[in-house]
């Protein structure tokens, strides 16, 4: 699969170069003294967020990374060359963990300044640095200090505004293909979608939102059944869910029971997921049998407090209203976040 969201790599900063033991020997200059130069510093290791990337695929086939070593010091007080630093590019939403301790080192979500992860070793001092009034001809220099090294686990959590959840074949891939330029594989069998798909959806005036199509969940997904927890992490960062409910004969069981099943799996994986706003989407209403029961089920969901929409991704019915409603809700959430972060001002009462 071209989508890779978890890898383990070994990263090492450059070692410092050793100092030089050298003495100045030139004609007509007796007792020239020590002139050994310092070693160069080893290169650092940085992480850089690149929004052109969407997977950790490159790190699956190459597991070892090392910055350049510092050059050794030379005679005539010449300083060794500093090692070349290494920049590792990762997609937005990458979490960096120390694989040995499990400690989270970084959460890389936005493009910006490179993050310094490992420092290169310092170069050793040459013998010219050790000359004193009582030791005018030192014959020793320092070795370079080794660079830092770590075994890292990189884990990708997609950055999306909206997550599509539901049973396999509920119509998630068809919906994202209808409202965005994403072209996921669509077929009439379970688990057609094996990897998350991202689509950019336009709404309002020059506004966009990112929608993530998550592979279908089944009973026991939070315990590893089906595709298990492999992709549940990708809905953790979303602001709201579109919960697709299929009323056609392709789904076994009662539609409302299926809806509650998915919510139980989300809650079992992470209780905070069950608290996110959910818009219920009744799909495939272009089928006459589905349309007949959709209105009654819509009223039931809305009586429980779930905003509910009826759509057909095939004919386009209801899609425009759905996109605008989702966009309006995202705008409200962003405004509320802005109000919470804005500093308050006023006067103190006497």
* Confidence check: pLDDT of 6 > 50: yes
Distance CA 180, CA 160 (A): 14
Q: Is residue 1 classed as helix, strand or coil in its secondary structure? A: coil
97: domain CATH number?
2.70.210.12
Number of domains in the chain: 2
Asked if 101 and 232 sit in the same domain, the reply is no
Asked if 175 and 256 sit in the same domain, the reply is yes
Q: What is the pLDDT of residue 218?
A: 57
172: domain CATH number?
3.40.50.300
Distance CA 275, CA 281 (A): 18
Tokens for 109, please give them. 């979500």
Asked if 101 and 22 sit in the same domain, the reply is yes
pLDDT tens digits along 31-78? 788 999 999 999 999 999 998 887 888 898 899 999 999 999 999 999
Instruction: Assess if residue 268 is contained within a domain.
Output: yes
- How, if at all, do strands 197-203 and 207-213 pair? antiparallel
pLDDT tens digits along 208-260? 888 888 776 655 544 544 454 566 777 788 889 999 998 876 666 788 888 88
What strands lie across the sheet with 308-310, from one edge to the other?
197-203, 207-213, 162-165, 240-246, 277-283, 308-310
Asked if 109 and 178 sit in the same domain, the reply is no
Asked if 152 and 168 sit in the same domain, the reply is no
Asked if 38 and 61 sit in the same domain, the reply is yes
What mean pLDDT do residues 185-201 have?
Answer: 62
Distance CA 347, CA 350 (A): 9
Least confident of 68-72, 162-166, 338-342: 338-342
Asked if 168 and 254 sit in the same domain, the reply is yes
Asked if 94 and 108 sit in the same domain, the reply is yes
Tokens for 48, please give them. 């850089």
Asked if 294 and 321 sit in the same domain, the reply is yes
Asked if 152 and 176 sit in the same domain, the reply is no
Under the banding of pLDDT at 50, 70 and 90, the label for residue 270 is confident
Under the banding of pLDDT at 50, 70 and 90, the label for residue 207 is confident
Residue range of the domain that includes 221: 162-339
Domain boundary among 106, 132, 156: 156
Q: What is the pLDDT of residue 183?
A: 66
Domain boundary among 127, 156, 185: 156
Domain boundary among 123, 156, 189: 156
């Amino acid at each position: 699969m071209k989508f890779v969201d978890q890898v383990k790599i070994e990263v090492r900063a450059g070692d410092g170069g050793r100092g030089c033991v050298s003495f100045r020997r030139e004609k007509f200059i007796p007792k020239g003294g020590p002139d050994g130069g310092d070693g160069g510093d080893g290169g650092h290791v940085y992480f850089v967020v690149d929004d052109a990337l969407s997977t950790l695929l490159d790190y699956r086939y190459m597991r070892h990374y090392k910055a350049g070593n510092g050059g050794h010091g030379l005679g005539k007080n010449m300083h060794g060359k500093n090692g070349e630093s290494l920049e590792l590019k990762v997609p937005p939403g990458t979490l960096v963990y120390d694989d040995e301790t499990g400690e989270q080192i970084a959460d890389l979500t936005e493009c910006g300044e490179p993050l310094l992860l490992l420092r290169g070793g310092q170069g050793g001092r040459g013998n010219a640095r050790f000359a004193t009034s009582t030791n005018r001809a030192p014959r020793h220099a320092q070795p370079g200090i080794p660079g830092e090294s770590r075994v890292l686990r990189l884990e990708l959590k997609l950055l999306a505004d909206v997550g599509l959840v539901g049973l396999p074949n509920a119509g998630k891939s068809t919906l994202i293909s209808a409202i965005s330029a994403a072209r996921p594989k669509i077929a009439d069998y379970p688990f057609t979608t094996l990897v998350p798909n991202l689509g950019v959806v336009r709404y309002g005036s020059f506004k966009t939102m990112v929608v993530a199509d998550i592979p279908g969940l089944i009973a026991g997904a939070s315990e590893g059944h089906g595709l298990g927890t492999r992709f549940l992490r990708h809905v953790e960062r979303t602001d709201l869910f579109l919960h697709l409910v299929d009323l056609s004969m392709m789904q076994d069981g009662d539609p409302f029971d299926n809806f509650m099943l998915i919510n139980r799996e989300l809650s079992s994986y992470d209780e905070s997921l069950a608290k996110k706003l959910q818009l219920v989407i009744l799909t495939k209403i272009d089928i006459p049998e589905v349309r007949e029961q959709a209105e009654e089920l819509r009223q039931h969901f809305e009586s429980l407090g779930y905003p509910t929409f009826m759509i057909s991704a095939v004919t386009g019915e209801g899609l425009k209203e759905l996109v605008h409603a989702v966009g309006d809700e995202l705008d409200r959430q962003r405004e509320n976040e802005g109000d919470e972060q804005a500093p308050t001002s006023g006067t103190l009462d006497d």
